Structure 1
Amino acid sequence: MKETTLVEKFSINALACTLATTATHPIELVKTRMQLQGELTKSYQKTYTSTSKSAVLIVKSDGLKALWSGLSAGLMYQVVMNGSRLTLFDNLSCLGVPAFPAGMVSGAVGGGIGSPFYLLKTQQQALSSLNVGSQHKEANVPMLQWFRRELKEGGIARIWRGSPAQIARVTVGSGAQLTSFTKSKELLGPVFKGNWFLTTAVSSVVASVFVVLFMSPFDVVSTRIFNQPVDPVTKKGLYYNGTFHALGKIWKEEGSTAYLKGLRAGYPRHALQTILTMTIWDALKNFYESWQNSM
């Protein structure tokens, strides 16, 4: 059998994640809006409540198309981040590295590489006539135009601003996701008598719980840091100096429950994203392996 190349692995991994993201993007957008409302205050009126009501409100305010704001940046983020993350995880696993450190290392690398796309996605998803969170109207441009302007104004450092928060987010989330998914498959494989679909689907459900449980605080922090207003002179964020400063400030100003903001949309989004990604990922790998064997 012909050995799968790095390019082939990357393509399979990236395709699995982009297919999943196309379906989950509107829920991700609602989650982002929920995480931004009531920023650094305990007294505020909720604009976004349940996932379904929030989606209806967004459509009424900004049109149906608004639910897919930031999709191009979101898809590119999946290609770059998850294509790198899952490919590196596969390679580390083949070298005998345990799932937990392999998941965290691959998450850190993927999160760092994909950070600029997540920055743009977050700012585009936050744009609304409802004005919840900082409104970066300059982000409402095609992706290449945004990159050209940002690089011209501040160089490489400007498009990677806030990347430590994103690295922390994906490191924790990836470690939790891939470890729980891998271990669940090992335990459930004999239970489902080798049925790869049932094993993968149920393992994905288990993994989604761990992702949400461990990643939520870092998810909120990452969204806040990427969407905070920037000082026009210093080009630095006005609210948060970094990941740990944001964690502390959010706790102080909003309370510990703020770390779970957006969870109403966050859990279904992460659950569906994990289930679709892991299931499609395994399906594509099995299909590609069968196709190679038939050649």
Structure 2
Amino acid sequence: MPGRPHEEMLLGGLAAVGAGFFTNPLEVVKTRMQLQGELKARGHYAVHYRNSLHAIYTIFKSDGIIRLQSGLVPALWYQLFMNGMRLGSYQIMTNLGLLNGSDGKVSFLKSILGGASAGCVGAIVGSPFYMVKTQLQSRSASSIAVGYQHGHGSMVEGFTGILKEHGIGGLWRGVTGAMLRVMIGSAAQLTTFSTAKEYILSLKVFNDTSILIPFCSSIVSGIVLTVFMTPPDVMCTRLYNQGVDANGKGLYYKNLLDCGIKIMKKEGPWGFYKGWGPSFLRIAPHSVLSLMFWDQLRKTYENLYHKHIEIDIPDSVKSSE
């Protein structure tokens, strides 16, 4: 039984929050590695983070273990708002049959368009939280610092400081990068998840209610997501973390296009795949966990809904059936 719009959004948001708590340390590592050597050619900057494991060790040694959960609060709020809107909107389109073809099965093209549009809405809503999250995660001891270092030490400080200096519009600086990132990622993730899930169901290898169905579908989705999402993810991180002048203009990049051109010119194609390792290590489990939580939360909701309906049916009605 499909839920109402606000219920679908809440279920989607809660699923992403659950996944975000476990994967945030990898998000911190990914952010630092994406900012390392910003606008510098390979071999012309200090490499503080050689790989994911080395980055975890370095952060633990220099910043302390608590910094591996930097930006956790805005990260979870971002997951709730962004994925609540994204997954909820996508499920509403699914419930209404907007993603099905004339044969009643999931349409690949419609799924791409539906996932992209749902992701765009989610990115706009969650943008302020993502920006503050990124800035908190990049903040570190001077000996291992990468990227622009912002002064705020909490989500509240970040919001109040940005509002005071640049007004409410400052909270949506870099939103174009977020929209591209989530549109591409959402289209890739939700399309492959829905398609893979339907295909696995058709194979009849597992029981229709088996948790292995969303698990396997999520793995496929996570791999595809990593490949397509990393380049816009790097640009998004750069746009959000850059410093700004007195007029709120970026110190490094004018806009999304300018960011892409400068990365290509200064860092080459590999610059778009900085942090690919932790990105995969983070995206894959996050995708698996969020989609599995989402799938299971919806099943739990539907079971509770049906039980509630059954309890509320009067005896007189039951006897007449």
Q: Shorter-normalised TM-score: what interval?
A: over 0.9
Identity of aligned residues (%): 39
- 2:313 counterpart residue number: none
1:135 CA displacement: 0.4
- 1:202 counterpart residue number: 216
Could you list the structure 1 runs, at least 4 aligned residues long, displaced by more than 3 angstroms after superposition: none
- 2:76 counterpart residue number: 75
Please tell me the residue identity of whatever aligns with 2:80.
Answer: V
Aligned partners of 1:240 and 1:275: how far apart in 2?
A: 34
Structure 1 position 279 matched with structure 2 position 279 = no
- 1:140 counterpart residue number: 153
Q: What stretches of structure 2 of length at least 5 have no aligned partner?
A: 100-109, 309-321
Aligned partners of 1:93 and 1:243: how far apart in 2?
A: 31
- 2:104 counterpart residue number: none
Tell me if structure 1 keeps the 8 A contact 2:132–2:159: no
CA RMSD of aligned residues (A): 1.3
Q: What stretches of structure 1 of length at least 5 have no aligned partner?
A: none
Tell me if structure 1 keeps the 8 A contact 2:11–2:88: no
Residues 239-283 of structure 1 show CA distances to partners (whole Å, capped at 9, x for unaligned) of: 111111111110000000111100110001000000000111101
Tell me if structure 2 keeps the 8 A contact 1:74–1:117: yes
1:148 CA displacement: 2.7
Tell me if structure 1 keeps the 8 A contact 2:29–2:52: yes
Please tell me the residue identity of whatever aligns with 1:167.
Answer: M
- 1:16 counterpart residue number: 15
Point out the more displaced range, 186-195 or 37-46. Answer: 186-195
Structure number, greater radius of gyration: 2
Aligned partners of 1:113 and 1:188: how far apart in 2?
A: 33
Structure 1 position 215 matched with structure 2 position 229 = yes
- 1:30 counterpart residue number: 29
Q: Give 3-state SS (helix, strand or coil) of 1:44's partner.
A: coil
**Matches of residues 102-141 of structure 1 in structure 2 within 5 Å?**
102-129=114-141, 130-137=144-151, 139-141=152-154
Aligned partners of 2:93 and 2:7: how far apart in 1?
A: 16
1:197 CA displacement: 1.2
- 1:294 counterpart residue number: 307
1:11 CA displacement: 1.8
Aligned partners of 1:293 and 1:206: how far apart in 2?
A: 31
1:195 CA displacement: 4.3
- 1:254 counterpart residue number: 267
Residues 163-183 of structure 1 show CA distances to partners (whole Å, capped at 9, x for unaligned) of: 001011000000000001100
Tell me if structure 2 keeps the 8 A contact 1:189–1:195: no
Please tell me the residue identity of whatever aligns with 1:30.
Answer: V
Aligned partners of 1:133 and 1:179: how far apart in 2?
A: 34
1:103 CA displacement: 0.2
- 1:183 counterpart residue number: 195
1:125 CA displacement: 0.1
Aligned partners of 1:53 and 1:174: how far apart in 2?
A: 30
Aligned partners of 2:95 and 2:120: how far apart in 1?
A: 19
Point out the more displaced range, 15-24 or 48-57. Answer: 48-57
Aligned pair count?
Answer: 291
Residues 59-85 of structure 1 show CA distances to partners (whole Å, capped at 9, x for unaligned) of: 110111000110001001001100011
